[in-house]
Amino acid sequence: AADAQALGFDAIELHGAHGYLIDQFFWDRTNQRTDRYGGASIVQRGQFAAGILRAVRAAVGPDFPVIIRLSQWKQQDFSAKIASTPQEMEAWLRPLADAGADVFHCSQRRFWEPEFEGSDLNFAGWAKKLMGKPTITVGSVGLTGEFIAALGGESSKPASLGELLRRLDRGDFDLVAVGRALINDPLWVQKVRDGRQAELMDFSPAALGTLF
């Protein structure tokens, strides 16, 4: 932790979402292993991520923040679900928290979509409710269109932040990650802070291939 802080780091985040390596162990469609890192249950398939978290925690010490980014959807299957119920989500997340995760960064394609029927809580909302730990929400924040559509060439216009603020004020999550809105408009945060919504810029997919 001292080395990380000396380098100016405030936290470390592991990417365990979107079908990348750690997530390939979580998902039963990609994890076909027959050793201790595979199995029918999410607890078994989560052992790879838990092992990484334990190693990171041992390296950085007890007080340095460790974040893990997770998603239900995959690049290979936008409708995929690792956890279909709150009980399955708790079985997924609890070992990660026990292994050293302080914060859950919960990626959705659209942050406003409920995670389970019968509640309007999104992924980050459920993770916080179940784990009692800080969460980060992300997914089409401040834009009308979502990320995958942008890869197909779809542009987006600025969208109201009212629903985001309602959920934030309600305590569903603690932090908000913003991606595409900042790519075209690096002053997005300042404009939102100062109430200059009329100055917010549209998002163009061409920005994904532009070095500003």
Residue 118 CA to residue 212 CA, distance in Å, equals 43
Map residue 148 onto helix, strand or coil: helix
**Polymer length of the chain:** 212
By annotation, the residues acting in catalysis are 20
Q: Is the separation of the CB atoms in 37 and 50 below 8 Å?
A: no
Report whether pLDDT(154) > 90: no
List, for residues 36-74, the tens digit of each pLDDT value: 999 999 999 999 999 999 999 999 999 999 999 999 999
Band of the pLDDT at 99, cuts 50, 70, 90?
Answer: very high
In this prediction the pTM is: 0.93
Q: How many CA within 13 A on the CB side of residue 65? A: 11
Average pLDDT score, the chain: 93
104: β partners: 68, 135
156: β partners: 203
Residue 161 CA to residue 176 CA, distance in Å, equals 11
DSSP string, 159-207: ---HHHHHHHHHTS-SEE---HHHHH-TTHHHHHHTT-GGGPPPB-GGG
